[in-house]
Structure 1
Amino acid sequence: MHGNVKENTIACYTKYGQISDHNQIDREVLHLEVPDAIRVSESVIPFEEVSCFENFMVTVGGSIINAEISKHHLIKYYELCRSQNSFLHEHILEPLNSNLVAGVISETVNLSDVIRAGKITTSECDFLTWDKTLQASEILDMNVGFLRARLDKLASLASKSKLNREAILARDQAVKDLITLEAKFLRAKEVINRLHLEIETLNTSSENLEAMFKEVAKAPW
């Protein structure tokens, strides 16, 4: 009897922790043979122990949900987690179903791509929309603070750039207005000088004209 128990009890170590019976071994084999299925994790591996993408397991409520996230998003999410040296969803509120968590993760990845591809001309409205989306994830305790910080810095730089562009446009318009005013001033000055000369000329001959006028007026019939 004791011999049979000994025969049926096998202890081994896997990436999910120590397994000490056939049922657990069968589950472990199932995990390895069916990578695209939602699996039950025996233990959550701290991110510090995740050495590569192949070891990266997104666990929610004891279930590995890698299969619910596209390969592209999963790779990008791994890179984000690695940048922070932690699972970004580690403290996400419970109980949230795996579909919702997978959606939050995918949306986080999408926004990280959008942020990295941002342009200095991006509108303030877009920045606000992206931040509200990240804020919603943060309310669920998704670690997206570093993304919001980056977004806030970019929004600030974009705002300064917009103000700078507007100031340049206003200055250029003022320069154009000044050139127009200067041209008008020069034309007005020319007119003034011409009229001044005419007035001086008329003033110089006015006495002669008056004498001639009187002479003509008093001339005998």
Structure 2
Amino acid sequence: NFSNFNIIVDGLVIDCKFPDHLRKTYYELCCAQESFLHKDLLKQINLTLAVGVIMETTNIAEGIRACEARASSHEDFVVWKKTLEAFELLGMNVKFLLKRIDGLLSLSARPRDPAEHEGYKEMKLERAHAGAKMKELESRMSSVKDTLKKMDVEMEEMLRRLATAPWYFAED
């Protein structure tokens, strides 16, 4: 349990170096991973560096928990990833945090402007194509309307001629 939890580096208990909330968060991270995250830190590592690595790992974990993909910047995620990769080289168990950051990076890399989505571009192209087809059809319909108007005029003229024709043609 938390009251029995001690952070030990090179045989030294370093709990006093951590504020209570960070120590508790680090405890929860260790419990979640069923392991002390710092157990494989390089032997004979500078104590101040070890404390800094544990603290910053905990701060990043809190940042991940608190972030909202839209509110947190892509640059923050990149910095966190590079920091954790460096800590991993020092022996800190942070693979689970790196995995979470990779997920956040993939979400934050998605375009937020609808104009940047591939589907949107395709639909816009289809709409433009449909617009061109509509103009072509409207042009054809206009041509057909013009032809029908000419035919109406010709029919009216033929009806007028027939109606006003001399009677002698009617017997033939």
TM > 0.5 fold call: yes
Note the C-alpha offset of 1:125.
4.9
Return the TM-score normalized by structure 2: 0.69
Task: Verify: 1:142 aligned to 2:92, yes or no.
Answer: yes
Equivalents in 1 of 2:44, 2:141: separation in Å?
Answer: 85
Larger RCO (CA under 8 A, 6+ residues apart): 2
Highest CA radius of gyration, 1 or 2? 1
Q: Which moved more, 1:107-116 or 1:123-132?
A: 123-132
Tell me: CA distance 1:54–1:170, structure 2 relative to 1, closer, same or farther (3 Å): same
Tell me: CA distance 1:200–1:120, structure 2 relative to 1, closer, same or farther (3 Å): farther
> 1:66, 1:74 within 8 Å by CA — same for their partners in 2?
yes
Q: How does 1:1-221 map to 2 (within 5 A)?
A: 52-121=1-70, 125-156=75-106, 158=107, 162=111, 166-197=117-148
> 1:120, 1:161 within 8 Å by CA — same for their partners in 2?
no
Tell me: CA distance 1:123–1:185, structure 2 relative to 1, closer, same or farther (3 Å): farther
Return the TM-score normalized by structure 1: 0.55
Structure 1 unpaired stretches of 5+: 1-51, 205-221
Equivalents in 1 of 2:133, 2:95: separation in Å?
Answer: 55
Any idea what the Cα deviations from partners look like across 1:89-147, whole Å, max 9, x if unmatched?
A: 01101322222112111211122223334445566655433221111000000011122
Q: Which moved more, 1:167-176 or 1:138-147?
A: 167-176
Q: Percent identity?
A: 34
Note the C-alpha offset of 1:82.
0.6
Any idea what the Cα deviations from partners look like across 1:143-200, whole Å, max 9, x if unmatched?
A: 11122223334445x279659x613422442354245334423432332223434666
Aligned AA (1:131): K
Note the C-alpha offset of 1:53.
0.9
Equivalents in 2 of 1:179, 1:123: separation in Å?
Answer: 39
Note the C-alpha offset of 1:77.
0.3
Q: How many residues align?
A: 151
Tell me: CA distance 1:179–1:142, structure 2 relative to 1, closer, same or farther (3 Å): same
> 2:22, 2:58 within 8 Å by CA — same for their partners in 1?
yes
Q: CA RMSD in A?
A: 3.2
Any idea what the Cα deviations from partners look like across 1:17-50, whole Å, max 9, x if unmatched?
A: xxxxxxxxxxxxxxxxxxxxxxxxxxxxxxxxxx
Equivalents in 2 of 1:72, 1:172: separation in Å?
Answer: 51
> 1:68, 1:99 within 8 Å by CA — same for their partners in 2?
no
SS at match of 2:32: helix
Equivalents in 1 of 2:133, 2:6: separation in Å?
Answer: 72
Equivalents in 1 of 2:68, 2:131: separation in Å?
Answer: 36
Equivalents in 2 of 1:123, 1:202: separation in Å?
Answer: 71
